[in-house]
Structure 1
């Protein structure tokens, strides 16, 4: 026995020594010289501006270089992990000399939209290839299908496309495939090709421009092991396919933002492993199947924004004991959501029920089984009482009860309870309470459109956004502006508009260095703008409208170099329009309506290429309209739905983690005041009415083909309307009334197919009103007060002498007679062709526009 123990001891000592020796060798590996030179060649072709590969020195062994991993036994290079290093340049074919390389990760770099090199298909040892988010572009090389050992392929988030996917079926060992954002629309049989991957576990195909061919000719997808399918953000317009419900191992399913239709099948309840289900933003109809309660593993359920119409939420949802996130809304479901729906949801952390006819109906003494982090019940009836159960939620960081029908006083416990919540949104209710003694500590606070009263609350330095507009707050504004804090204020957005605040705005703006958006309009404020407001160098939007401010605009505001929106309308400001206001290319909105400004419109205004709204109406401006307004390139291009210029429009919106603050603007258009908010970035308007402007209308202004609203009425303008007006294809409202304009109405105006508001009254126009469906549809009052004007819709008939002659256009316009005949010839086709465009624009405005 002692001999056996001795032998075992020797063996153990040998094992320990050999292990130590191997470890020592691993730490001092001498890499293969051929592979070292290959890596140096590879690095030489790269761009490395941050010097991330500084350790790649010829004097050092390559197994110690950053991102290089070698075999502990052979010292051959097995892995290159170079993700997120800001690398660029070219990928050298020297990589082919790394014959044992099985892992290559170049993700999150910048290769300048260069194509993926096809030689990667010759790297037969690769089992892992990640080129995601590396700014590759062009065609995905089909040679990648030659890497027969590949298990993991991620090409997502690049500018890539495929002609076909025949090559993908060669990757029979593939378990993970991510083609996020790759254009696959050319491959009509994408499902059939992908279904030939029997080992596939995860399939990521979001934003691939996939069409409605999920059923394909195969009728059944041969996925035997698939656990994850992500088809979100595509264009699939069909019912959920049957083969989808044969995937018994499925754990993750997202078809977010497609056009799936039909009912959610009861068979969905058979997925006992399903943990994540997102069917949101589709066109699914019917009811929520009661079998949903059988998804015992489910942790995330999102059915938001569908066409669900029948019945209410099944009480079986209350059995989903593993549920952590529940998102419902923007549908036509009805009925109550009660305690039984949450019976076993002890793990619930995120609850969203919004924009629906469902109503929250729980007992006043209800104690929920969960501790929420994120709670959003908006545009969904919860009131009229303030929910008492809320105070049981000790872990909240986001609370949104906006538009939830609460008609109650905020309870005493609420403000102390809420002090640790990061974001609070209680807007559009009828919540009351005195805020005079309240100290707000939240990062984002929206209490707008309620019945709060008293003085402005105090703020801690942590507050970033305060929107308390449209309440009943009163008292002087100075104590709020000049309050002392324990630290530097982080406040970026201050909106206290539409209240009853009074007094002058004190010279305390230096205490708020982070402000980017200020709206104190529609109060009872007075005095001059203090010079300290010029210390707000990051200010992007300033709204002081509808008060009683007076005096000149201080020159200190010139320091606000990124100021994009200026709204000083309806005050008593005087003097000339300062030159600095019209020189910055960051300016997108200038709203100076109804003040006492004098002098000429500064010619420097033509530098404002980003300007989308210019309203100088109802002042005492004189002189001529500058002839260079065609330099307003944003008005020339017009609004482009979906295109958002981050460089300019940041003045209109301040984005945060879950919600954004949006600027609004009230414009006098078509004879009524309308508020523009969500669609303000799409508005293009010029209003110079009710001034003392003279001279002719510059022909250049009619080059602004994207302009929607033009009002030059109530001035002393003379001359003709240039024939070029016909190119203003986006024009919806035109008011030239009460001037001294003369001549004939241009025939090209019949091309203004978007025009639905026209006023040419009280001028000196003559001749026949051009015949077109467009112009004859307006009220006769649109042409009233032009004694020499005739033809429909006026009752005055035209005599032969009054019919238009082939005369040259006015010299001021510089037009040629053949242009008029060009417009006459294209009129009918333009009207019909533009009708659909007109309907689209009206539909967009109807969906987004509020306050009209």
Structure 2
């Protein structure tokens, strides 16, 4: 085996072959090779020869091919983890945030599972994301595990089986995860034959009604996840299946993504359970906030996004307990001002009231919540400003306040938000200059969005100190001066072809980050692909000067928008160094000179706007530029000529009503032809003097030259004379 170190994750990653000499460890009981880089290599068969092995973990290691049946020889094995999903969690160097890397997985599969019958001591089995599509015997094989307690078969492409198998007896199971297999539409009745279940996860299976009545017999059930199925209609139909003792121990209930409608219970209903987690997104709970939630004294995680609620938000905080740590009430129709009572939630870490109808100011005390990591209040009608606070904002990693009516300057106290990775204040009325401390202090920023405000003054060059910055949007403000030359120093933007990572905000608990990015004239939300977005937008300001050449060093940049400014000079010739550039908008400026033909080398370019400038000369063509031929790209440049404009360039010739343009690939080919003609003249002169110059100044060569041609002339005369004589003789 060897260690790989091509990426930070792989710095301690084992790869290569597993040596059979490992068998010399005859008394080995615990073998953990998880989270490594075996790059599709087959799990060695000899692992099945460890007679004393109790624990085997090969998860997330990049194994591929068929799972060897020899693993069935491990009769003493109690724990087997073959989970093939490779999501590696990585903390940032400063522990401010963390992200996950979904690493390339390989086709790890089984042809059958009868070998499981040899694992008589097995209590824990995780084969998540292992391809079991051909294992028609999977359920019968699982049945042969007499000691199994925890069974994880998520996203395994399980073949569907009969929904009613009364003889299937898995009474020992306490945890069952069959999520992500699309086993619907009907839930198999055998799933509920075991009243000992503590945790049941059936999310994303396309299940529909009817729901088995035997669910009510699961008195020990603590976690039930039925998200992302098709249990639509009135939730009371679902509630009927809960009759019995199921609710007595239930703590975590996930019903989101089902399209369930009104939970019609009386206002004084007291449920028999005490939930800690309750998720019911995308369901029609409203219009009123569920009053029975006031009985849930242990509730810490509540997500009711897009639940059709239209209460005043102050009434909700009369119901909720103060020990909430996660609160998501986004995308409803909540009204009124955020009450001061929210600050009684001292342990609050995540808060989202986005896409509601909230008004008035943000409570000052909200900034003083010491554990708050994510605050999302975007798309409301909030007013006032961000008040200067004595708090150090020590934990805040994600702040979304866009699309409100907030105003004023950014307070100096915000410089203490050293853990921020996202600062989105777009589409408000913030004013003053952009503080230089953003670049000096907020060094963890990855996404800085200040578009559509009233900021003025120069762009502080200190922003280039943000080495992790991937998205910079300062568009639609009143900024002036030049674009800092130091903008070529954004380290994260210089990385081309980045790896897809899930970016999470929050130091203790991770929340998947998302942002809205202005891309090709439209707003798009990015979440799971956020790590791939690299964007600079400075459009709609009063910037002047030239385009900094340093920007061409941002090799990973995907979108550059400098439109609607007063920029002058030329487009840098090295613009083609930004190989991954997809969108380039330089319209409505004062740029001049010829459009560089190197633009045609940017193979990713699919959106280009150079209109309303002072460009001149022939429009380049060829390669990538031939795929985006649109005359509107060049409109408003009176000195431009050539296709796709109708205006011909000087020297173009027309014959029979058609235009004859020299060259095969536009300006580049025409230049080659012009250089050919230009080089012919000096070539002729040099060739002439190489021959004639020598004959003129060297007498011996000149005499030999003349004698040679005299001799050749005499020989030619004799040959012709003979031919003529023979011809006359034959004619006579």
Residue by residue over 1:623-673, the C-alpha shift from the partner in whole angstroms, topping out at 9 and shown as x without a partner, is 2211211122222235732568xxxx66x35653xxx32332111101211
Change beyond 3 A, Cα 1:268–1:538: closer
Residue 446 (structure 1) aligns with: 303
Residue 630 (structure 1) aligns with: 488
- The answer to whether the 8 Å contact 1:516/1:538 transfers is yes
Distance in structure 1 (CA, Å) of the matches to 2:58 and 2:186 = 32
Distance in structure 2 (CA, Å) of the matches to 1:319 and 1:643 = 41
- The answer to whether the 8 Å contact 1:724/1:748 transfers is yes
Question: Cα distance, 1:360 vs. partner?
Answer: 6.1
Change beyond 3 A, Cα 1:207–1:518: closer
**Is 1:525 the equivalent of 2:352?**
no
Unaligned residue ranges in structure 2 (runs of 5+): 4-8, 85-105, 653-660, 672-732
RMSD: 3.6
**Is 1:789 the equivalent of 2:665?**
no
Residue 472 (structure 1) aligns with: 333
**Is 1:394 the equivalent of 2:244?**
no
Distance in structure 2 (CA, Å) of the matches to 1:335 and 1:602 = 58
Question: Cα distance, 1:346 vs. partner?
Answer: 2.1
| Within-5 A mapping of 1:372-521 | 372-386=221-235, 387-388=238-239, 389=241, 392-409=246-263, 411=265, 417=271, 420-435=274-289, 439=294, 441=297, 442-456=299-313, 457-458=316-317, 459-477=320-338, 480-482=339-341, 485=344, 489-509=346-366, 512-521=369-378
Out of 595, 606, 609, the position equivalent to 1:745 is 595
Residue 572 (structure 1) aligns with: 429
Change beyond 3 A, Cα 1:273–1:805: closer
Distance in structure 2 (CA, Å) of the matches to 1:254 and 1:606 = 45
Distance in structure 2 (CA, Å) of the matches to 1:160 and 1:561 = 28
Question: Cα distance, 1:522 vs. partner?
Answer: 0.6
- The answer to whether the 8 Å contact 2:394/2:416 transfers is yes
Residue 264 (structure 1) aligns with: 112
For CA contacts below 8 A with separation 6 or more, give which structure has more relative contact order: 2
Out of 114, 130, 143, the position equivalent to 1:282 is 130
Residue 772 (structure 1) aligns with: 622
- The answer to whether the 8 Å contact 1:445/1:466 transfers is yes
Change beyond 3 A, Cα 1:778–1:413: same
Residue 448 (structure 2) aligns with: 590
Change beyond 3 A, Cα 1:419–1:735: farther
**Is 1:728 the equivalent of 2:578?**
yes
**Is 1:205 the equivalent of 2:62?**
no
**Is 1:240 the equivalent of 2:67?**
yes
Distance in structure 2 (CA, Å) of the matches to 1:682 and 1:594 = 24
Residue by residue over 1:579-635, the C-alpha shift from the partner in whole angstroms, topping out at 9 and shown as x without a partner, is 333432233322111122222222332332222221111112222211211122222
**Is 1:616 the equivalent of 2:474?**
yes
- The answer to whether the 8 Å contact 1:697/1:721 transfers is yes
Question: Cα distance, 1:543 vs. partner?
Answer: 1.7
**Is 1:183 the equivalent of 2:14?**
yes
- Secondary structure at the counterpart of residue 177 of structure 2: strand
TM-score if structure 1 supplies the norm length? 0.66
Distance in structure 2 (CA, Å) of the matches to 1:736 and 1:160 = 40
Residue 326 (structure 1) aligns with: 176
Change beyond 3 A, Cα 1:484–1:204: closer
| Within-5 A mapping of 1:69-218 | 183=14, 185-187=16-18, 190=19, 192-194=20-22, 201-210=29-38, 214=42
Find the structure with the greater CA-based Rg.
2
- The answer to whether the 8 Å contact 2:192/2:215 transfers is no
Change beyond 3 A, Cα 1:244–1:537: closer
Change beyond 3 A, Cα 1:807–1:627: farther
Deviates more, 1:295-304 or 1:351-360: 351-360
Distance in structure 2 (CA, Å) of the matches to 1:312 and 1:577 = 64
- Secondary structure at the counterpart of residue 330 of structure 1: coil
Change beyond 3 A, Cα 1:793–1:428: farther
Deviates more, 1:726-735 or 1:388-397: 388-397
Change beyond 3 A, Cα 1:186–1:620: same
Change beyond 3 A, Cα 1:242–1:538: closer
Out of 675, 688, 691, the position equivalent to 2:525 is 675
- The answer to whether the 8 Å contact 2:456/2:478 transfers is yes
Change beyond 3 A, Cα 1:303–1:798: farther
Change beyond 3 A, Cα 1:416–1:722: farther
Residue by residue over 1:218-271, the C-alpha shift from the partner in whole angstroms, topping out at 9 and shown as x without a partner, is 899545555543322233322232333354554433221163224433454564
Residue by residue over 1:685-729, the C-alpha shift from the partner in whole angstroms, topping out at 9 and shown as x without a partner, is 111111121111111122111222111111111111101111112
Deviates more, 1:718-727 or 1:786-795: 786-795
- Secondary structure at the counterpart of residue 452 of structure 1: coil
Unaligned residue ranges in structure 1 (runs of 5+): 1-136, 140-158, 162-180, 809-852
TM-score if structure 2 supplies the norm length? 0.76
Distance in structure 1 (CA, Å) of the matches to 2:36 and 2:372 = 40
Distance in structure 1 (CA, Å) of the matches to 2:270 and 2:497 = 45
Distance in structure 2 (CA, Å) of the matches to 1:412 and 1:264 = 52
Change beyond 3 A, Cα 1:484–1:356: closer
Question: Cα distance, 1:197 vs. partner?
Answer: 6.1
Deviates more, 1:197-206 or 1:488-497: 197-206
Change beyond 3 A, Cα 1:424–1:436: closer
- The answer to whether the 8 Å contact 1:469/1:496 transfers is yes
Deviates more, 1:461-470 or 1:384-393: 384-393
Distance in structure 1 (CA, Å) of the matches to 2:40 and 2:364 = 62
Question: Cα distance, 1:348 vs. partner?
Answer: 1.2
- The answer to whether the 8 Å contact 1:718/1:741 transfers is yes
Deviates more, 1:371-380 or 1:250-259: 250-259
Distance in structure 1 (CA, Å) of the matches to 2:343 and 2:47 = 69
Residue 101 (structure 1) aligns with: none
Distance in structure 2 (CA, Å) of the matches to 1:412 and 1:736 = 61
Question: Cα distance, 1:515 vs. partner?
Answer: 2.0
Residue by residue over 1:367-424, the C-alpha shift from the partner in whole angstroms, topping out at 9 and shown as x without a partner, is 1334223322221233433332558333334332221332233745899649843332
- Secondary structure at the counterpart of residue 617 of structure 2: strand
Residue by residue over 1:100-143, the C-alpha shift from the partner in whole angstroms, topping out at 9 and shown as x without a partner, is xxxxxxxxxxxxxxxxxxxxxxxxxxxxxxxxxxxxx989xxxx
